[in-house]
A and B are shown apart, each in its own frame.
Chain A
């Protein structure tokens, strides 16, 4: 098991438990980082005076001033490009894209510029930027407030992609992302901003404060990028997931009495291959779960990696439970979402082999 794949949830050193939801944890990470490094600047649509449409940057402009936390024109290309230029100057920008669905106008700057700057200049110039963006569905966000475009970024050499699943991880991973000298796409699963999601949309959200993973230490701490975490441990099969789906598969396994290694990948690129191999070789079965559409989704890469590296340990074909290959629908959201039924059937299929 990797060094950081620990559970149960951590406690603060002083023993005082401070419980935050994911929004508060992200806000805390930004606050802590800005306090430590005066080269960090935050910019994006509505992030300044207003504090962000999800409140992730609330209070930061007041605390650090409007030349360090400021609103931008509605131009994702401009936001990313300005961040790249600021990074070239020596700042450490943390731009926000209001929804991952709206990151596409900034793609040329991310793919052709931020991701390639270090390589093409032989490390003369770098882009130490962290692009924060709420992503994922399950909130009746329809086509343009629900997407999970992580596979697009996974395919780009030079970008790291990070997705937290708990408030504790959100803070530690975000601080690591900001301090990392490579460009990082930091996708925040907005469905679990306020509490983990079981996949049962008709049940009320349980707030984060009822879960140990909401214990967020004060001050500075980091969770290394590229290291997965065991959300639960079990011998029956390995489930690879990240973001919201970690909690959905946890709930389904609990309900069905399946004892699984649920590996919360936390970082998509570079993915923690050691933990994946360790778990799959132990269990012999692997289920991959993500919200994003199926074809050429990140699950395909995971499936290939597992098949290549664990083939002789596999007792069943690697299965994928994903969103369907359609744009994200509004009214039919819960028919689209890879929920308990789809996951449960996949579990039955794997475990019956």
Chain B
């Protein structure tokens, strides 16, 4: 407006006034929640196309919702992976363990044992089930809410806790914020605080695998909020241009901290639909249906392995808890949402399915939950022997200067000397712990 000459202001008077649309979530704190606008198709209603189907022939899958587990707790339709009961119980176990882990670590943060934690409650299927459909050496580029992958891949839980506590056992030497894990051995890429950066990196990794004639594929996870980042566009573009063997998993949990998915464009299109514009095969999946999550990931993995190209999967889910230990969702959304969420809880749905097919019961579930909680508790105690945040038992401070480069250049050597000097000034009688834990 400032640029329009004042005298000409009337020129626009016979045209309708423009107005800015600012998205607003349907429910705010205190509001009654009604999710009836969310279309939930019958489980089993969606066909399962061949993995080499052309993207343009799959438009319906970007707008629909692939579901396997119905209200009757039975598996329906062509997306049923038909997993044997033992595998289903394993899946349930990993999800229950992930939930127990989250509970304990959240409490640990509240007890002051660490600075920060993020739960994935309600989204366990999007990591555990999806990851189970991949090979152990397929490379994953996760965001910060896929701890279920590490648990599913058998990463030692004590290492996770050591990292969260930044203690002397922390493989990342206390450099990283809690939950920013890294494990090359488990083909789990180092987590970055910068959102969506991992998505085009995953594509690059997949391109490298293709360049070398390897058979491994890459998969990346990103929240729906982070799809707004330019990196996500780059990822989709490079994936399609080079037909990269990669799976782009978008976990649509409806919320990016306090911003509802409308601020990432959800009012106009599904997140899966974005893949269509790039010519990427795209699936939209019930993210709280562990069987659908598994089979969609399997479909995409098969497609990538067949050199048929990338897949974008939108896992439609709900972030049941706050964004992080620093967040209070009662400040921006209705507390009712979690209970009213039409797709339920992934752990409960799988449990009920196993009971329905006669492979599980409440007693065993109770025992499993108890054992999971006990295991996490025991492992937490073990990890605490390595120290907790701020209690001195962290890595020697000189490690702060290592790994900036492969070798320490002169200026970092000098700064390390300065740090040593400061420690000696602070502890003239000698460093505590013989200098190791100072």
Residues of chain A touching chain B, judged by Cβ–Cβ distance below 8 Å, are 41, 67-68, 72-73, 75, 77-78, 81-86, 88-91, 93, 105, 108-109, 112-113, 116-126, 157-158, 160, 180-182, 226, 269-270, 273-274
B231 touches A77 (CB 8 A): yes
Q: How far is the CB of A123 from chain B (nearest CB, A)?
A: 5
Taking the complex as formed, is B259 at the interface, i.e. its CB lies under 8 A from any CB of chain A?
no
A117 touches B208 (CB 8 A): no
10 contacts between A and B (CB under 8 A): A75-B238, A78-B203, A82-B204, A85-B205, A86-B207, A89-B209, A112-B194, A119-B175, A121-B184, A180-B406
Assuming the contacts A118-B404, A118-B405, A121-B190, asked whether A81 and B204 have C-beta atoms less than 8 A apart, the reply is yes
Partner of A91, one of B208, B218, B404: B208
B201 touches A122 (CB 8 A): no
Chain A residue contacts of B403, Cβ below 8 A: 118-119, 122-123
Chain B residue contacts of A75, Cβ below 8 A: 233-234, 237-238
Which residues between 359 and 405 of chain B lie within 8 Å of chain A, taking CB atoms?
403-405
Rounded to whole angstroms, the CA-CA distance of A108 and B197 in the bound complex is 8
Sample of 9 more A-B contacts, CB < 8 Å, known A75-B234, A82-B203, A105-B230: A68-B211, A82-B207, A85-B208, A118-B403, A118-B405, A120-B175, A121-B172, A124-B171, A274-B410
Chain A residue contacts of B96, Cβ below 8 A: none
Chain B residue contacts of A72, Cβ below 8 A: 238, 241
Interface centre among A85, A160, A269 (most CB of B within 10 A): A85
Rounded to whole angstroms, the CA-CA distance of A121 and B128 in the bound complex is 23
Q: How far is the CB of B170 from chain A (nearest CB, A)?
A: 9
Taking the complex as formed, is B335 at the interface, i.e. its CB lies under 8 A from any CB of chain A?
no
Q: How far is the CB of A61 from chain B (nearest CB, A)?
A: 14
Residues of chain B touching chain A, judged by Cβ–Cβ distance below 8 Å, are 139, 141, 171-173, 175-176, 180, 182-184, 189-190, 192-194, 197, 199-212, 218, 230-231, 233-235, 237-238, 241, 403-406, 409-411
Chain A residue contacts of B197, Cβ below 8 A: 81, 108-109, 112-113
B201 touches A108 (CB 8 A): no
Chain A residue contacts of B411, Cβ below 8 A: 270, 273
Assuming the contacts A77-B234, A85-B207, A89-B209, asked whether A158 and B189 have C-beta atoms less than 8 A apart, the reply is no
Interface centre among A68, A82, A118 (most CB of B within 10 A): A82
A120 touches B180 (CB 8 A): yes
A85 touches B203 (CB 8 A): yes
Closest to A67 in B: B211
Chain B residue contacts of A82, Cβ below 8 A: 200-201, 203-204, 207, 238
Assuming the contacts A85-B204, A118-B404, A273-B410, asked whether A91 and B211 have C-beta atoms less than 8 A apart, the reply is yes
Rounded to whole angstroms, the CA-CA distance of A93 and B201 in the bound complex is 13
Closest to A95 in B: B204
